[in-house]
Structure 1
Amino acid sequence: MDPIRIAVVGVGKIARDQHLPAIAGNPAFSLAATVSPHDPGPKGVPHLASLDELIESGPAVDAVALCTPPQVRYELATMALKRGIHVFLEKPPGATLSEVVALRDRAGKVGVTLFAAWHSRFAAGVAPARAWLSERRIEKVSIVWREDVRVWHPGQAWIWEPGGLGVFDPGINALSILTHIMPRAVFLKSAVLSIPENRAAPIAADLSLCDTGGANIHMDLDWRQTGPQSWDIIVETDAGTLKLSSGGAVLSLPSGTEHNEDLEYPGLYARFANLIRGGRSDVDIDPLRLVADAFLRGRRESVAAFHD
């Protein structure tokens, strides 16, 4: 079977750190091109300034991985789907729920694969955590997702603009895990969004959620963390406490702790290849819907200006 010819659109930190190595390590794919108006891409790979140029005159591709800011992703995905090109959407899958639903519907009509890729769901501890919780009664959940924005998102002005999500850009990773491992549906009750006086998106957020069984869920998001970073989910159950730490890579159960290799992006590309070969799509909007609910229902408070 011939490899899937894929182009990476948007050559920034996440593309270089994760997408390009994952593609290189998966024989189901061959990197046909990269696309960016700014970064020239890796040496030896055809490079174009725009997706229009790739489609019209570049090397033939079967799929694209969209690693651009979410605000421009709808137009790019639509362009690819019209040409019958399979689309991988880096998280968050779009700037609004409506455009992601529109893309999902379009992909279904033209028979092309669309994959909303929640990479944190492929962290090593997530699948066993989901299996363990499926047989437990959830009593309480605590999420602490605190990191230093200057370390992880240096100079990324788009992330502070409408549609860039602010602290929910990393926070949505925690929500993608939460909605995947919880046996019952989760919804928002209230939120407080802390927005720097010189920015349009929050630098911190405090969320109160619950599941349909009544279990209380508290989420603490903050981009002002210095020193050790915190990416932890603690679930108290009738059979003891489960903890996912290091963004889901480390799972602690009453029976012990498991540390496993980080295979998030290799897992994503294995999933994408299987979806393409099977003629299917995977577009879960639950994590983005919770973020939208936070912006819809959250109380906004102004905090000190933020400067990179």
Structure 2
Amino acid sequence: MPAASKVAYVEAGEGEAGQRIDNFLARILKDVPRSRLYRILRRGEVRINGKRAAASQRLAAGDRIRLPPLQRSASAAQQDVPKTPSRALREFVTGAVIYEDRDLIVLNKPAGVAVHGGSGLNFGVIEALRAAYPQLTELELVHRLDRETSGCLLVAKRRAALRELHALLRERRMEKRYLALVVGRWPFGAKTIDLPLMTHQRQGGERVVRVHAAGREASTRFEPLRHFGKAATLLDVSLGTGRTHQIRVHAAHAGHPIAGDEKYCERDLDAKIRAAGLQRMFLHAHSLSFTRAGAAVPFTITAALPPELQSVLDRLAQG
């Protein structure tokens, strides 16, 4: 569907039921940058059945979606080159695939690669996969990982699979586990942090999340796996909810921010860990587990800890 030059209305079909409105817009307005799509959503210019639509709102079959004028100038269009992900990015992303079947692709996403384009990035994982597999016309992200987080990332190959997996996420029947190295000696043992989170926009559009009484509920469970003296602790982390920056903010609020997290950790706090060779945020989506429709046993996938993180642990262990 081309970008509209005036207000337009589209209707969600059966195949779109359960899909997030931001993903729906990205699919039908392919020539509009995601950053602009999120901007019109924040401003309330996209409406579903006459009501303002949040980016995370899910569609139902028959929903009437209002699209604002999105005519783009020739100069704006010229700024969109290149039009497709580079061969290097396509090969980098496809090389990270660790599992594939009729319904799913699972990647061990490398740190530094965004899951989708936007916010100054032309392309991410999903655009690279679509370019690498043009025959798969329904590829969609099931969930997201921060750009600097590595590990298990689910991509649905069919809309029916996407709806099923989104239902599992909504009903909290998908277990997501992370490995996180935090600054200092974690003193709490196994601990669940239930504190609401609110997203703020800093000047320049940077997104920052804070613990706030008026925020959305968020639950994170931390369990220590290994202490490295007083310098650091390796934690197993599981999510009760899936809020933006949830693990990072809850860990920082507990006084033990994730090592290498430039947004929520003061750089001098993790100096000893950086001296062990850490050059990125130490947060890795280690495993996913869920029961698929008709399956007798859960589907479980594990993504190995990247070598650059394992080497940090090895050096810390040596003292």
* Normalised TM-score (structure 2): 0.26
Structure with a larger share of its residues in helix: 1
Task: Work out which of the two has the higher radius of gyration on C-alpha atoms and give 1 or 2.
Answer: 2
